[in-house]
Amino acid sequence: MTAKKTPQATIETFAALFAGRTDARGDMDGGCIREVVDLDTYRRHLDGEESLGLYSTQDGNRVVWACTDHDGGDGDLDDALRVRDALTLAGATAYVERSREKGYHVWVFFAEPVAAAWVRVLLGNALERAGLPSTTERFPKQDRLEDTTEGLGNYLNLPYCGPCADGRRAMLDPKTSAPLSLRAFLKLAQRSDPNAITLDGAKAPGPTPVPGSAEGGADGGSGLVRAAEATCPYWTEGRRHALGLGLCGAAAKVGLPLAWAQQLISRLVAECGDDNDRKDCSRDTYRRLLKGQTVKGYTALTELLPREAADTIMDALKAAHAPDTMRQVDAIRLEKGGSHVKSRNASEAIEAGLRESGKLFHTADESPTFYYQDAESREVVDLRGGDFAGLIVRRFGVNPAEKLFPYLRHYLEAVVRTEPPVPVYRSYLFTDDGVLYIHAGPGLVLALNGETIESERNGDNVLFVGSGLGLKSTPKPRGGDCIKRIAGDVSFDAGLISERHQRVLFEYMVRALPFLDRIPVRPIPVFVGTKGSGKTLAQRRILKMYLGPDADVSTLETRRDAEVAAANTYAMALDNLDDAPRWVNDWMATTSTGVRIPRRELYTNNQQEVLSPKCWLLVNARTPNSYARSLTLAGALSGWAPGWQA
């Protein structure tokens, strides 16, 4: 049987994401092979012919990816997840990989080459915030290649060498920690903008916006990068303080927020070498300007630098546009008064900005959930979710690591709580006039009246929350009724109930999956069969039909991740429950009854978040067992019609 080859487009995308040195690579035995690394090298790796160990640091001591390595013991996954969360709080998007042996890697990809020294500071602070020792391995391992014996640094074996059938050397789903296919990961992967990253995490002197976002201006990120690159050659002993003041003055006069000036100085300190963080430069300069005092900007630059360099820096700063909302919050930060007064004033300004661009509301539950809906995209985000945190960073420059952020969230909840609740739905609504509304994805609703299927924007007639089902309007699917075809492909064995009754129950559960609101307590179908009987494939086909082509079965690593996943999806398929941890049985019973789960929030001492699982569990195992609320379905997948292979 001929092994499936990796498509050329996939190879190119993977190579661009995992770019490194092109004149050497590492082998599986720890040696260095001096040869060209090209697309064919990446192809051999992805096809499983030869593993690729990649040197990250390129010319100029710059990298486009970074990684931490966790091989310490049973808590490796928890360690990796804490590092991922710490990097998220710093403004970076990170991904966890289950490595070749027993450990895990945490990866970050950058939108542009960045200094290895700066990256090592970022990773070191994330490790410290996660409570891990500074000796934890991180790549790159050196600030400068000049400090290494062979001028190469250290290499790291890349993920996705071959099919990764056992789930190793594969990235994990951020919500469920299940292994992602190569195709699914490349579709999900994002590069982090270095200018959107707060270098020292929770200890940052101010927020870090996202230059280059829709709110931050198309050229914001590249503008700050160009300004730093033009300044770095002149960032020398005896000139740094005055140059820092001049840069901050120039940034303030062209209207850039304080946070961006701080990020520019932090970048110079990290990349150009400086034992002083220069944090006072930016805050003192912006305070002077706010008081109406004289501040030097372009004039100071021309006094310290050649005219051409000063002009280049000014052009770059002018290209970095910031939204008015960010500048407004910045002005409040610099006002006189106590921190409580500033937090209240900033929260009021942010509330006004949110209401101008959308609406805030809460549900009618006994323990209400609070949401924000953007008026343009119609997407709805939970005020306690990561999407809302990202929105606040982009529009207002408030980082989740700041003390202002939890104050803001509690302020918004207190204000919105006084308003009438809004009826919301998760997956569907069947109205008295015979229209079935289905939540088909972010901002999109399908309306079915028995004759036509119309697309609507979320909130026009009914308001949905959650991620949606990811459905597409297909009035006449190729090959007929998809659900009947799935059920018809399974050969059931008679057991406690007959083969016919098992098939009827199976089809009923598949059809009922979107209508969880009508089924508060749900049975757990357990697919039992020998190895190779098609248990996993049967579950996978159900998920892909409802949740999209990237949906897949899950494996359970920690209870915390399982609880979060069940609160954010309509269905989870759990693979090979024979080897599941002991807490799984209790967790499945809790999830199938929709019990609310209170938990302490990460990085807090006494703040709680409440998870509300509304999820249908699908389980497979090799042998029957007494799982709570389970219904055993025994059999095998007999085949499938052409055109419906999952």
Strand order in the sheet with 616-621: 490-492, 630-637, 524-528, 616-621, 571-574
Q: Which of 85, 270, 97, 101 is nearest to 177 (CA)?
A: 97
d(CA 261, CA 278): 11
The confidence score (pLDDT) of residue 429 equals: 84
Residue 217: partners with Cβ closer than 8 Å, 6 or more residues away: 211, 223, 319, 320, 321, 322, 323
Burial 388-425 (b: 16+ CB within 10 A, else e): bbbbbbbbbbbbbbbebbebbbebbbeebeeeeebebb
> CA angle 248-253-258, nearest 5°?
50
Q: What is the CA radius of gyration of the chain?
A: 27
Strand ranges of the sheet holding 170-171, from the earlier edge strand across to the other edge: 137-139, 62-70, 104-115, 94-98, 170-171
Query: Which DSSP letter does residue 601 get?
Result: P
Strand partners, 204: none
Our CA dihedral for 106, 111, 115, 119, rounded to 10 degrees, sits at -20
Residues 161 and 48: beta-carbon distance below 8 Å: yes
How far, in whole angstroms, is CA 361 from its chain's centroid?
25
Under-70 pLDDT residues of the chain: 1-3, 72-75, 147-149, 165-166, 199-222, 275, 290, 321-322, 366, 401, 467-480, 494-496, 517, 548-550, 556, 568, 597-612, 624-646
Rounded to whole angstroms, the Cα distance separating 47 from 5 reads 6
Q: Say how far residue 493 (Cα) sits from the centre of its chain.
A: 42
User: How many helices (H) and strands (E) in the chain?
Assistant: 20, 23
Tell me the CA distances in angstroms from 55 to 65, 110, 152, 629, one per residue in order: 10, 16, 7, 51
pTM of the predicted model as reported, rounded to 2 decimal places: 0.50
Helix 307-319 with 240-253: angle, nearest 10 deg? 40
Measured between alpha carbons, how far is 629 from 319 in angstroms, rounded to an integer? 60
CATH number assigned to the domain covering 482-637: 3.40.50
Continuous segment of H or E residues that includes residue 22: none
pLDDT of residue 264: 84
Structure tokens at 282: 């930016």
In the chain, where the domains are located: 8-192, 201-322, 327-417, 482-637
Model pLDDT for residues 125-162, shown as the tens digit of each residue: 888 888 888 888 999 988 888 766 677 888 999 999 98
Q: Is 430 helix (H, G, I), strand (E, B) or coil?
A: strand
- How far, rounded to the nearest angstrom, does the alpha carbon of residue 385 sit from its chain's CA centroid? 11
Tell me the CATH number of domain 8-192, given options 3.30.360.10, 3.40.630.30, 3.90.920.20, 3.30.1650.10: 3.90.920.20
E-strand stretches of 449-567: 453-457, 490-492, 524-528
- CA nearest neighbour of 389 among 531, 586, 602: 602
Distance, CA of 81 to CA of 173 (rounded, Å)? 12
Q: Which pairs count as long-range contacts for 126-132, CB under 8 Å and 24+ apart, including other chains? A: 126/68, 126/83, 126/86, 126/87, 126/90, 126/201, 127/68, 127/83, 127/86, 129/86, 129/89, 129/201, 129/202, 129/603, 130/79, 130/82, 130/83, 130/85, 130/86, 131/82, 132/70, 132/79, 132/82, 132/83
**Is the bond preceding 613 in cis, omega lying within 30 degrees of 0?**
no
